[in-house]
Structure 1
Amino acid sequence: MKNTDTKKMTLFALTWPIFIEILLHMLMGNADTLMLSQYSDHSVAAVGVANQILAVVIVMFGFVAAGASILVAQYLGAKQEMDAAKISMTSISLNLIFSLIISLVLFLLSNFILELMDLPAELMAEASIYMNIVGGFMFIQALIMTISAILRSYGYTKDTMYVTIGMNILNVIGNYLFIFGPFGFPVLGVEGVAYSTIISRIIGFIVITFVLIYRSEKKLPFTSFYRYERTHVTDLLRIGVPSAGEQLSYNTSQMIITYFVAQLGTVAITTKVYVQNLMMFILLFSHAIGQGTQILIGYMIGEGNIDSAYERCMKSLKISIIISTITAVVFYVFHRSLLGIFTDDPTIIEQGAFLLLVTVILEPGRAFNLVVISALRAAGDVKFPVFMGILSMWGVSVTFAWFFGIFLGLGLTGIWIGFIADEWLRGMLMLRRWRSKVWVRKAFV
């Protein structure tokens, strides 16, 4: 595949399409919930539980995509275009096999999995339908994720953004047709939302596959789709498995903290949900900058340009800290209007306002992790962030959340103390690791 001229690649050019793409994923998820809420609250709950399960599965698919994105960037930086193309085809093949197995399990065992979640009987039928349809076709999402990661590493971040925009538009149109039944369309509720999701993904997959073929100028090494090279597979797993493990650990630790919050009552749960929904928009900037930085550093490491890679991370970190801090301050200043989107409960607004104020301290710490960890991964230093991350998530975030929030009775303030301590501790450890330049010996190319 022909790669973009690295000299013309800038952080901004890579980052803004990634930002738009992530933002759209978030907005469309909210749109699905909002549209389905007009049909039935039970349907929203059923789909919500099913999507919690599917979200964990998507993290599992991400490990091959994560490995591919880093390796492709490093190989392109080293001017080894053929190896980059082979890695691309191998990663697509591996994720197809893995995702087909997972999709079959989800289709056959959907009821069993939902029963493990202790789902109320009145939600089981709709949740099962959604799991059967969307879960059975999860391999399509795995392929989209993998191809998108490859295209981003080649610098084609706009292409993946346009495909995401198209998929989301189709999904909203499909939801409208099947939920509200205009023009004589059948009102299918949850089943219709599931069909809409799958149809939009299938069309998105077809389009992004054509984009991949077009950008490669029809010179993809298709033999690498079924004839693997051991070093390629090993390197993909060495990067991807630890990255997936870290994400699974984070999701699990957050579930435990949510369990703590549940002990504080309904108001506390609701406040946490609303504030964290707003926080997602703040961390978008750091997330996008982290992904763009990862691509650039991957190229630089492949080129052997260590000094440029080091400086790129430090510059990206400064930008991310400044933007996330300013955004957090703006969200706090306008907290009444923002929280008012969700609720008019004065207690929730008052508690939420204080948590948004504390978030001004939290978000710069999170910026360290999102940017510096991405840089370390791009350099091939994947194990250290995972080990330290798991230790900090459970040893600091979960422990502090229980101690300050539950044991000392500080409630949500105590929970947020745990979040802040975890993000800043990990952030400082990651920065120290980057400055040590231990990662120089970790490159895969």
Structure 2
Amino acid sequence: MVFSNYLKEFPKNLKIAVPIMLGQVAHLLVAFADNVMVGKLGDAQLAAVSLGNTLIFIALSIGIGFSFSITPLVAEADAKGDTNKVISVFHSGFLMCFIMGLLLMVVTIFAAPILYFLDQPKEVVDLAIPYTYWVAFSLLPLMMFQALKQFVDGLSKTTYSMIASLLANVINIIVNYLFIYGEFGFPRLEVEGAAIGTFVSRVIMFLILFILLFYKTQFKVYFKRLKSYSSGVIKKIFQLGLPTSLQMLFEVSLFTIAIFLSGTIGVKSQAANQIALNLSALTFMVGVGLGVTATIRIGNQKGIGNITYLKTVATSLFLMTLLVELVFAFTFLIFHEHLPGLYISDLDVIKLASEILIIAALFQISDGFQVVLLGILRGLQDVWIPTIICFISYWLIGFPIMYVLGNYYSLGVKGIWIGLLSALTVSAILMFYRYRELVKK
């Protein structure tokens, strides 16, 4: 009977989560398309995309992590029926995301030449620099999109951002095709063409979501009173956004270091690492969907103070995560020799990537649980302890294991991924203990 109570929550979770998952997976499918299209050009070009994205991933982790603070505040205010608070959070959050987007764009552009000093192959860096510049320009429209997305997600209306993502990503693939290969009279820009596709799609993605919300009757109340800023709300967004950004920064920077370390081993190792990262990111986005669902639903229950039901919702999300991640783990194990061939024809790269995917299969459950637990804790507006847990797991445990096994035990890129597995597992365990501690109180 108790188990059936958790199963009853599955449809409610899926109603919120599926559009988020589809939107997130759509982003990654475009990254997959980027890698496949660029991979046809050669391993140096594929490695260049991987390297160029290192700085972008760091900027994205800060910006997107910051925008995540909007969702629990909107969810809490919406559950209480406080429309004025929702409006204030929305407008204040949009302003802060716009400023954050500008800052990240400028910093990333000026930081791009650092890639020359990171002991990476020069041919790869030469291709990565112009790619990085174009994608840096896309950070501003992306952050504006994130502000709208996190606001409407907080209202449990997750379909709109999914529609915008899907439409924009179709356009991304089309623009990529035209500019990477120079089809239909367009210039052949190869790696740089992939970046132009990203920039164009993110501008369109923001415009689509803005139009969908602005002209929808149910959202007009949130756009009527413009500039409804509140210093108190801005302070609260900052207090939640800063540690959330750090959480994502600690995790993403560890995966970024994995890219750098694999690059020092060789171009083939870096290309294999990029393939495994891209495939793992696809499954991670499903976890992200469940994590955002956790933030919304837990935030709602926090708003009305129903702790008993809050625990029921959390447990239902744990069960869903376990089922989904087991499917992904077995998929990686069964098809680990076949999936890398979708990206590249180099047999050495395929062999390396297939070996990495076995390790990636093992951390699917840890990865899924840690992102869902982070979502639950974010819904409870508990952010600083999880930030400390992320730092310990990724940088005091994961990085030393990664560095030692990768460099001193001849495991190469496989040793790097064992470090990632260790970090994610420790993070999931510690996050769960933090959740148990909070619900006991």
What TM-score range do you get, normalising by the shorter chain? 0.7 to 0.9
Of residues 21, 25, 36 in structure 2, which corresponds to 1:23? 25
After superposition, the Cα gap between the structure-2 partners of 1:328 and 1:213, relative to the gap in structure 1 and judged at 3 Å, is same
Aligned position for 1:57: 59
Q: Quick one: distance in 1 between partners of 2:388 and 2:64?
A: 19
Residue in structure 2 matched with residue 429 of structure 1 by the alignment: 430
Q: Does the CA-based 8 Å contact 1:355-1:413 persist in structure 2? A: yes
How big is the alpha-carbon RMSD for the aligned residues of Structure 1 and Structure 2? 3.3
Partner SS for 2:68:
helix
Give the partner amino acid of 1:139.
L
Query: Whole-Å Cα distance in 2 between the matches of residues 118 and 404 of structure 1?
Result: 19
Does 2:70 correspond to 1:68?
A: yes
Partner of 1:320: 321
| 2:428 counterpart letter in structure 1 | G
Cα distance in 2, alignment partners of residues 279 and 170 from structure 1: 24
Task: Tell me: CA distance 1:222–1:115, structure 2 relative to 1, closer, same or farther (3 Å).
Answer: farther
Q: Which secondary structure does the structure 2 equivalent of 1:254 belong to? A: helix
Matched, 1:306 2:302: no
- Counterpart position of 2:230: 229
CA shift for structure 1 position 322:
2.1
Match of 2:289 in 1: 288
The match for 1:100 among 95, 99, 102 is: 102
> Which stretch of the first structure deviates more once superposed, 294-303 or 114-123?
114-123
Match in the other structure for 1:362: 363
Deviation at 1:411, TM superposition (A): 4.9
Offset of residue 78 of structure 1:
1.8
SS at match of 2:222: coil
Name the amino acid aligned to 2:244.
Answer: S
| Offset, 1:72 | 0.6
Distance in 1, Cα, partners of 2:286 & 2:188: 38
Structure 1 counterpart of 2:89, from 87, 94, 103: 87
Cα deviation for residue 63 of structure 1 reads 3.5
User: If the length of structure 2 is used for normalisation, what is the TM-score?
Assistant: 0.85
How many residue pairs were aligned?
432
Question: CA 1:395–1:151 in 2, change beyond 3 Å: closer, same or farther?
Answer: same
Query: Structure 1 stretches of 5 or more lacking a match?
Result: 1-6, 441-445
- The letter for the 2-side match of 1:80 is D
What TM-score results when the alignment is normalised by the length of structure 1?
0.84
Deviations 1:303-336 (A, max 9, x none): 2111111221122112211221232113212222
1:443 aligns with none
CA distance in structure 2 between the aligned counterparts of 1:310 and 1:295, rounded to whole angstroms = 14
**Could you tell me whether the CA contact under 8 Å between 1:89 and 1:222 is conserved in 2?**
no
Corresponding position of 2:384: 383
Deviation at 1:439, TM superposition (A): 8.7
Mapped contact 1:369–1:430 kept (Cα < 8 A): yes
Q: How far 1:98 sits from its partner (Å)?
A: 2.8
Superposition deviation, residue 301 in structure 1: 1.1
Contact preservation (8 Å) 1:291, 1:374:
yes
Residue type of the partner of 2:206? F
Contact 2:152 2:158 in 1 (8 A): yes
Q: Deviation of residue 429 (structure 1)?
A: 1.7
8 Å contact from structure 2 (residues 402, 420) kept in 1: yes
Contact 1:87 1:232 in 2 (8 A): yes
Secondary structure of residue in 2 paired with 1:164 = helix
Change (3 A) 1:351 1:119: closer
Q: 1:437 Cα shift? A: 2.2
Q: CA deviation at 1:348?
A: 6.2
Provide closer, same or farther for how the CA distance between residues 40 and 110 of structure 1 changes in structure 2, counting only shifts above 3 A: farther
Q: CA deviation at 1:64?
A: 3.4
With over 3 angstroms needed to count, the CA separation of the structure-2 counterparts of 1:256 and 1:45, relative to structure 1, is: closer
In structure 2, distance between residues paired with 1:261 and 1:312 = 40
2:150 and 2:136 map into 1 onto residues whose CA distance is 22
1:39-54 aligned within 5 A:
47-54=49-56
- Partner deviation per Cα, 1:328-347 (whole Å, 9 max, x = no partner): 11321222222343467777
8 Å CA contact 2:47, 2:267 repeated in 1: no
Distance in structure 1 (CA, Å) of the matches to 2:296 and 2:327: 25
The answer on whether the counterparts of 2:326 and 2:365 sit within 8 Å (CA) in structure 1 is yes
Rg bigger for which structure? 1
State how far apart, in whole Å, the 2-side matches of 1:121 and 1:259 are.
Answer: 13
Given the superposition, is the C-alpha separation of residues 245 and 76 from structure 1 closer, same or farther in structure 2, using an over 3 Å criterion? same
